Amino acid sequence: MELLKRISIRTITGEFIRTVKRFPLPVSFSILTCILLIIEIENYSFFDNSPILVKSIFISILGFLFTLVSTLFLERSDNRDRIKFIMQTIVLTLLAYLFITLPAEFRETDYITFASYLSASVFSLMFVYTKNKDESYFGIYNITLFMRGFTSFVFSAILFGGLASSLFAVQQLFFAGNFHEELYGDIWVIIISFFAPVHFMSGLPDDRDSPNSNFLYPKALRILLQYIMTLLVSLYLIILYSYTVKIILTRIWPEGIVSYLIISYSLVGIVTLILLSPLKDSDEFKWINSFSKYFFRALLPLIIVLFMAVLERISEYGITEKRYFILMLSFWLSGITLYMIFSKKRDLKLLPVTLSVLSVVSLYGPWGCFSVSKNSQLSILEGLLSKNHILVNSDIRKTDASVPFEDRKSISSIISYFYDNHGIDKVEFLKKTYQQLAAESKDKNDKDAQHNFYRDFDQAVSRKMLVKEGLGFDFVDEWQNENTSNFLNIAVKYFHDPEIEDISYYDSYIDCRDNLIKDRILDKSSGLYLKYNAKDLSLVFETENKDSVTSVDLDKYVRKIIAESNNIAGEAEPEKMKFIDSNDKLDYMIIFRNFSATRENEKDPYKITAVYFGFYYKVKPSD
């Protein structure tokens, strides 16, 4: 009966009304996010291809977190009535500022801005309601957040599974041939953006609760942390120390990935300590204090390895936003570790407070991640172009000389960085070259040659075209090494609109894979033999006595595709791979499927190694 009472409609409705009254703004932003996401899924024609919609979703998500944090802060404030209006005005003004300043089309830097504010909000949520001086309440409060968040996620998953199963049954039984599939997405959006946040907020501690009133440490969480997480943290520590010993013995500088592993390990260990902190004063769990002390001491050697890995990457490739944050976290981890070792107070609340502040401070000013990263990459690019005599007296001069592979790869990577993060217009000495190429290509119908990189369709000149036509060498992708950079493969674009070819004019067709055409093939309708000549890339028509009647030069068509593709490896539109032509003996249509080619170095022409095509033809009648 008690269970039925808890799940009664009256109880659920009462909890919902109480939550709405307590958190009116967060609930409003939750509803707004839900509506915007449903519009995105349904893809209404009015909003079709509208980047404003995506930006609105991001701002709405931040609005939920900002107003939730501010509401909790006001509840714990002694001057809540005086500062409520001021606090809400500041939050809404910040959201309006972000909406205005963030562009409609997001670059990677804008995603970083969103992620930083998101992180700052989450970290703020960890301490904003812990005004009480009782140190244990910080841990109790975060346990409440963790358990409530976990419960909301589980309930949401179960609810979606049940509703989706019911919807699937209805679909199969009643609407198998005509059903609105987007309903599954709509249900998930309603659950994850409305039900889950409201359920989460309904279980947050109330100002009427005393810090330790009726708190009973969750047994399942205690077992998870005591017997599983502490064991895993210790095991991972052994692995990282083994890697440190390997560095000392082999004298091989640590690789970049180790920095992510050390930071992840440190954060997991710190979260474990925060969640265990309410137990540390009990006689049964005195070991937590020892675990905390030795955990931070054990971090010191790993922090040295962390700095070695980060500084190695920075010395080779300069600072980017990702490396900036890794370096910032390295300094933060160093400071926190020293604080936890030498300070007598050891206030764990300082951890999320400092992370929240750093998340926002790192975005702005000359010390911010964007300014530092942009200047670092710009300096390296300028040095590389000057070294290879491409940048002379602030002017770009297209080179005819061979540029070392590593330099080509670094230049390509930095140009990609500016395309994706700041815009190529931020590179002053490339502006003139970019504008010239844009003017030369704006009247061309061949847009594929200009926009041969999937992220550059909104650019007048793609990154690959800028490097090839502006600097004088082929663009090098991040995945390429010195061998693969001289290998080319182009295939028909996989995703394209189906097209019906008119082949009624032609009499014959052959599917040509060069490695399968080893002997002559008789065309009974004309009495001629077809032979593929791989040496000079041609298709030869012969008589029975092997006298040549005519031939089709395939090489010239492949060269045309290569020239127009301006690509190292990728896909081409079907119409770019099709040629209709004739000679004195044949009318024919060639449809290339794919081909591969290699070269010795970047300045040499490609040598075709394999080709696959369809050949439709009609032999002209003899005079």
What domain range is 7 assigned to? Answer: 2-202
Task: Read off the tokens for 612.
Answer: 């696959």
Q: Kindly compute the dihedral angle of the four CA atoms of residues 125, 131, 135, 141, in this order, to the nearest 10 degrees.
A: -40
Name the DSSP class of 466: I
Residue 496 lies in a domain: no
Task: Read off the tokens for 479.
Answer: 């995945």
Q: What is the pLDDT of residue 285?
A: 79
52 and 136 inside one domain:
yes
Q: What is the pLDDT of residue 209?
A: 55
Q: What is the pLDDT of residue 7?
A: 57
Q: What is the pLDDT of residue 514?
A: 57
Task: Read off the tokens for 121.
Answer: 């909000």
102 and 157 inside one domain:
yes
Domain boundary among 361, 387, 415: 361
**Total structural domains within the chain:** 4
25 and 161 inside one domain:
yes
467 and 598 inside one domain:
no
Residue 414, pLDDT above cutoff 90:
yes
Place of tokens 């032999």: 619
Residue 512, pLDDT above cutoff 60:
yes
Select from 168, 162, 171 the least CA-distant residue to 191. Answer: 162
Select from 160, 177, 72 the least CA-distant residue to 122. Answer: 72
Residue 306 lies in a domain: yes
What share of the chain has pLDDT > 70, as a percent? Answer: 90
Task: Read off the tokens for 402.
Answer: 């061979």
Q: How far apart are CA 8 and CA 79, in angstroms?
A: 37
593 and 515 inside one domain:
yes
Over range 533-558, report the average pLDDT.
87
What is the SS3 assignment for 141-153? HHHHHHHHHHHHH
Q: Which residues does residue 585 pair with via DSSP β-bridges, in sequence order? A: none
Residue 362, pLDDT above cutoff 90:
yes
530 and 418 inside one domain:
no
Domain boundary among 172, 202, 232: 202
Question: Cβ distance 568 to 474 under 8 Å?
Answer: yes
Q: What is the pLDDT of residue 382?
A: 94
Residues listed for the chain: 623
Domain boundary among 152, 172, 202: 202
545 Cβ partners below 8 Å, 6+ apart?
A: none
Answer positive or negative: Cα dihedral of 314, 317, 323, 326.
Answer: negative
Q: What is the pLDDT of residue 45?
A: 47
428 and 541 inside one domain:
no
Averaged confidence pLDDT in the chain? 85
Question: Cβ distance 448 to 576 under 8 Å?
Answer: yes
Residue 5, pLDDT above cutoff 60:
no
Name the DSSP class of 506: -
Residue 334 lies in a domain: yes
343 and 378 inside one domain:
no
Q: At what angle do helices 287-317 and 257-276 cross, to 10 degrees?
A: 160
Q: Which residue has the higher pLDDT, 287 or 497?
A: 287
Query: pLDDT for 557-575, tens place per residue?
Result: 988 888 776 554 567 778 8
Query: pLDDT for 298-331, tens place per residue?
Result: 999 999 999 988 988 898 889 999 999 999 999 9
Q: Which of 126-140, 353-367, 530-544, 607-621 has the lowest mean pLDDT?
A: 126-140
523 and 594 inside one domain:
yes
Name the DSSP class of 277: G
SS3 616: strand
Task: Read off the tokens for 526.
Answer: 């004309």
Residue 460, pLDDT above cutoff 50:
yes
Query: pLDDT for 214-254, tens place per residue?
Result: 678 888 888 888 888 888 888 988 998 998 888 888 877 77
Task: Read off the tokens for 109.
Answer: 């830097």
Residue 170 lies in a domain: yes
Residue 497 lies in a domain: no
Residue 503 lies in a domain: no
Residue 498 lies in a domain: no
The CB-side HSE value for 247 (13 A sphere, CA atoms) comes to: 17
Query: pLDDT for 154-202, tens place per residue?
Result: 999 999 999 999 988 888 888 766 777 788 889 999 999 999 999 999 9
Q: What is the pLDDT of residue 616?
A: 93
Over range 143-157, report the average pLDDT.
92
Residue 547 lies in a domain: yes
Q: What is the pLDDT of residue 374?
A: 94
Q: How far apart are CA 571 and CA 74, in angstroms?
A: 56
470 and 558 inside one domain:
no
417 and 465 inside one domain:
yes
391 and 337 inside one domain:
no
Task: Read off the tokens for 212.
Answer: 């330790």
